[in-house]
Structure 1
């Protein structure tokens, strides 16, 4: 004779399948459409030749991501719906079955219903593998990798939903809290990273944001898994979280008060955490927005105040389940006092973050550039290792720190970045990023940039094996189809030698010249690697060499390529920078301005080409009309590079 407990368990399983079985069916049908059907359609048609699949996530990844993010949460909400409805909760907990057994039945059934559709899809793909010759695109390992990663994310998101269901008494709140819970670590890190530069001088927020912060949120990591493979540590951490969330959810469920049904948060301890956590996050968001948009302390503080009040009100509405809430002024005052104290503590720099400059004996090598992309995005970022250069960089760093207030007051749109990365002998890194006016520190930059070591590590031409060079192509800047090509072995060696000499003798002032280079030089090697560099205005020896070889006319834009040009005062132009503008519209406007210069003289055109800059921030603008196809190019003159005839006309 069957026991009552067995019959209860059997009925519970039936109830679960009747109530949430449809979720598994929707999951399966969605995956069928996203992967096997898409594979069948693309690999049996003309599209087959265009498939560039690196994994199974290549096929309708957007649909897969939505299913992997949405289905587990929907399943968790509907599966544990009985915890949020009082009559249902009372009935389920009156049955002759322990809470832990009840939890295991629901949670494990949900996990099985998540795994089965994914497993079936993997079996279907495996069945299609040989008939459709899928080995051209994916391997068997790719199928198992897709299966494992998909199941892992499904279980992680599902158990996050189960955990929030244990601490919440409202289904809607459970769903929202699940996504907040999964996004919170990364979101908080992002907000802190972007706010800390306001308080820690030199904090490299952009460097932190590029340091795999997406790993801190399973949802973000899942949304990028088609092009950013997961690391071994990430997988281990996510798998551990699955077990941890299961165990914690069980413990919370066993200690949950049944009468807390319909409450936003069932544990009183969580209410202040939620309230002040939301207040803190929205405060950071408000400060970030106003601090970046307006760029001054007054608006930064205003952003914090507005964000904190907004977050506090929203949190109270969620907790009190009404927009007609009771405001606790005392709580806001205590919170404001705590935040003010935190800001004051930052001013003392107890950790010596701002003043920390490593001793030369601690440093292995140093990277110094004006952009963190030159370190983060480079395949082989450059470093300086000579004692002389490292000492210069340390002295530059110390002077920047000493001039903290002066540097902050001079920050504007034309400010430069000074990005430092110290790689220490103990394996650690010290990274700092400052906004400065480089002109104030030109004496340091000149010595560093003119050093032989700096020129060698920052110019790829010094790493080129001359015997491996296949050809050199010179592409002039501007709307022209001209191109000079060097293929003769002796000419290649001579060109490389001249370019190296130009780089070695170039001064710092010449390297920061804001005038447009003549052309882009592309050095193609036999191993398919390419090294590029610019033909700067100061490279006169290279220009003479090209002229001697009869290549100069094709290597750069000359007056012979220009039909005529208009020069106008920038203030006379009506430019809508917000909506954008075309060169053709701007040129037509130039042609109609009465106070303008129409240049047709070849000497003046050459002088204009030599002194113009592609940045449209100079006091005078020039528009070129090209002979070949009527193309338009717009540039400007500024500073000491304004031609004399332009100065004389407008003054």
Structure 2
């Protein structure tokens, strides 16, 4: 009898394992199939070195999200149904004893499969002679710890939610709704700010916030960014808080609340508001996306419709009936509507000063355009140090402030530009401007804009003439570091390439390339012509001291464009007998084919680029014109358009048929055609 009064009640434990133990066994089997069996049976000719077992196979992350939730739903099903709730709570056990037994059962059913799988994975790792994946014992240990913490978090969260929800299905949906809330907030709410708040830095940190606050979103990047001890510690701490909360809520939960949607009165307004606000955001986002061009009413209608549907839906869920009308329905809806309206309005209101805030020169310490810079190291995106990309040059700061001042005082069609961007459209003459100010008070002020280039040409030209802008935008920092080799690849024919490894030639090439980049005119930077070639600068850390300091930064590459306007660099290639290895001559081409492409979709911008199928398959069935004229082919080899956005234009898709090697596909606008080209297109 004494033992039955204690927390460890054998009867409850045996009953739990007898009734629900099968799901723990299923959890074990799925883990064994997804990790040790997978690793032991894979064959890769060249073994792949990994830093986390999540890189080998991510499917078990799905099991960490689903099985703990299912286990919690089954173990605590008794508090969600009437008869079992009465039965269990009539036993000679205190609630804390009953809860402890069920929590203990769940933890065993979760941890035992995980650590059995961890042990078997270690054994497989030890006995394999030719493994497909190379990893360390520490990686196995970290996999077990990570899976344990995340699984226990999901289990305990489900139990805590179950104390506030009286239906198992709604309990499960609420759990996944909670871990999706950050995605909805940072994703959909950012769309609202993007639509109505000029300068808002959308997409600047939303992915980071979603990963850090939503476990569901975090799972998608686990293979690339394995969790560290700090992140695991946060989830472990939250799990402990939820553990305590389960006891607090369970002690106050009424038995008769089983089968009710919401068990505590205080939770009902929270549920109503959360459900309503979510549908308001989704409704506004959807109707803004499908709205006709120039219409802002659709978005407002989406917010209103989402609010009505969200509130009615929440009431129907809470009351478990569609008969929800009462005298308090409309007043309560008005209160919730006002709160939601204030949350949507206050951040974008003109009087809050966000949109019109341009710092004074006296308050600006440094400025940067273009945002953060990243490099890939060990398949991870690593942010570079900010300091080299900021400038305190007075003239450059003045130019940026003048551009910013004109933007905030202009009448930009913000809503329309946002819609075009979200639908994958753009305008060919739009510029993205991302400004970061480091202020004297130690804070950073960031603004982002999409502006029409022709309206801000003077201010943009003033900014882009400075070396401070060019060095940051075109990553000239890499040309000041040690370089192992340089690869140059023709833009016309990828098979034509050269590599430079001689230290003297590398040094000369780097100096010339940096000089050409910094001497670009504004027109050079806006050039709509394809580059002569692409350049890949392969960095390395050659001396022993530098290698030790940069163990986490192995050699990597930085890409540059070799523009046709880089005359001195072009001459250097000729002097060093490299130019002919990159060029394609008219003698290498047998003929040229022209196909006219008409774009006529006013207001619906689309990207136009060289399309091989447009010529080879003749998608539109247009007349094709072919020529063997070497003068025309030579002119074509000297000019080709880059891809651009347009809603109305006439383009010629062109195919150069090679004598040997790959054919070349390019395009020109109608105004780019030479007289000879126009003549053959008219006469044939």
Alignment match, 1:515: 529
- The 3 A distance-change label for structure 1 pair 494 and 118 is closer
CA contact (8 A) 1:13 1:105 kept: yes
Q: Is the aligned partner of 1:277 residue 2:274?
A: yes
Bigger shift: residues 229-238 or 491-500: 491-500
- The 3 A distance-change label for structure 1 pair 142 and 489 is closer
Which residue among 558, 574, 586 is the counterpart of 2:615? 586
Which residue among 172, 184, 188 is the counterpart of 1:191? 188
CA distance in 1, matches of 2:165, 2:383: 47
Alignment match, 1:416: 431
CA contact (8 A) 1:168 1:174 kept: yes
- The 3 A distance-change label for structure 1 pair 573 and 612 is farther
CA distance in 2, matches of 1:393, 1:492: 34
CA distance in 2, matches of 1:490, 1:181: 60
Alignment match, 2:550: none
CA distance in 1, matches of 2:93, 2:405: 69
CA distance in 2, matches of 1:515, 1:136: 45
Alignment match, 2:12: 12
Bigger shift: residues 276-285 or 210-219: 210-219
CA distance in 2, matches of 1:431, 1:7: 55
CA contact (8 A) 1:570 1:621 kept: yes
Compute the displacement of 1:393 (Å): 1.1
Q: Is the aligned partner of 1:354 residue 2:368?
A: no
**Secondary structure of 2:280's aligned partner:** helix
Q: Is the aligned partner of 1:301 residue 2:297?
A: no
CA contact (8 A) 2:198 2:414 kept: no
Higher relative contact order (CA 8 A, sep 6+): 2
CA contact (8 A) 2:39 2:132 kept: no
Which residue among 75, 78, 88 is the counterpart of 2:74? 78
**Secondary structure of 2:531's aligned partner:** coil
- The 3 A distance-change label for structure 1 pair 496 and 69 is closer
Compute the displacement of 1:86 (Å): 1.2
Alignment match, 1:28: 28
1:254-310 Cα shifts (integer Å, max 9, x gaps):
111211111111123322322231121111012122324436412211322333334
- The unaligned stretches of length 5 or more in structure 2 are 376-380, 421-425, 542-554
Alignment match, 2:547: none
- The 3 A distance-change label for structure 1 pair 74 and 646 is same
Task: Compare the two structures and name the one with the higher helix fraction.
Answer: 1
CA distance in 2, matches of 1:82, 1:469: 67
Alignment match, 2:641: 613
**Structural mapping, 1:417-432, within 5 Å:** 417-432=432-447
Compute the displacement of 1:471 (Å): 4.8
CA distance in 1, matches of 2:253, 2:581: 80
**Secondary structure of 2:565's aligned partner:** coil
- The unaligned stretches of length 5 or more in structure 1 are none
Q: Is the aligned partner of 1:218 residue 2:219?
A: no
**Secondary structure of 1:29's aligned partner:** helix
Q: Is the aligned partner of 1:98 residue 2:94?
A: yes
- The 3 A distance-change label for structure 1 pair 293 and 258 is same
**Secondary structure of 1:30's aligned partner:** helix
CA distance in 2, matches of 1:535, 1:579: 22
CA distance in 2, matches of 1:378, 1:607: 43
Alignment match, 2:544: none
Which residue among 236, 239, 244 is the counterpart of 1:239? 236
Q: Is the aligned partner of 1:474 residue 2:519?
A: no
Compute the displacement of 1:582 (Å): 5.4
CA distance in 2, matches of 1:591, 1:8: 76
**Secondary structure of 1:230's aligned partner:** coil
CA contact (8 A) 1:291 1:300 kept: yes
Bigger shift: residues 235-244 or 380-389: 380-389
CA distance in 2, matches of 1:526, 1:269: 61
CA distance in 1, matches of 2:578, 2:62: 57
Compute the displacement of 1:641 (Å): 4.1
Bigger shift: residues 444-453 or 564-573: 564-573
CA contact (8 A) 2:36 2:121 kept: yes
Compute the displacement of 1:149 (Å): 1.1
Bigger shift: residues 139-148 or 287-296: 287-296
CA contact (8 A) 1:185 1:217 kept: yes
**Structural mapping, 1:374-413, within 5 Å:** 379=384, 382-405=389-412, 413=426
Q: Is the aligned partner of 1:554 residue 2:581?
A: yes
CA contact (8 A) 2:609 2:643 kept: no
CA distance in 2, matches of 1:237, 1:55: 20
CA distance in 1, matches of 2:7, 2:319: 41
CA contact (8 A) 1:518 1:557 kept: no
CA contact (8 A) 1:614 1:634 kept: no
Which residue among 671, 674, 682 is the counterpart of 1:643? 674
Which residue among 83, 91, 95 is the counterpart of 1:87? 83
- The 3 A distance-change label for structure 1 pair 496 and 600 is farther
1:3-22 Cα shifts (integer Å, max 9, x gaps):
76369933222222222222
CA distance in 2, matches of 1:503, 1:423: 26
CA contact (8 A) 1:77 1:161 kept: yes
Alignment size in residue pairs? 643
Alignment match, 2:545: none
Alignment match, 1:537: 564
Compute the displacement of 1:105 (Å): 2.0
Bigger shift: residues 70-79 or 313-322: 313-322
**Structural mapping, 1:138-217, within 5 Å:** 138-217=135-214
CA contact (8 A) 1:483 1:555 kept: yes
Alignment match, 1:258: 255
- The 3 A distance-change label for structure 1 pair 378 and 511 is farther
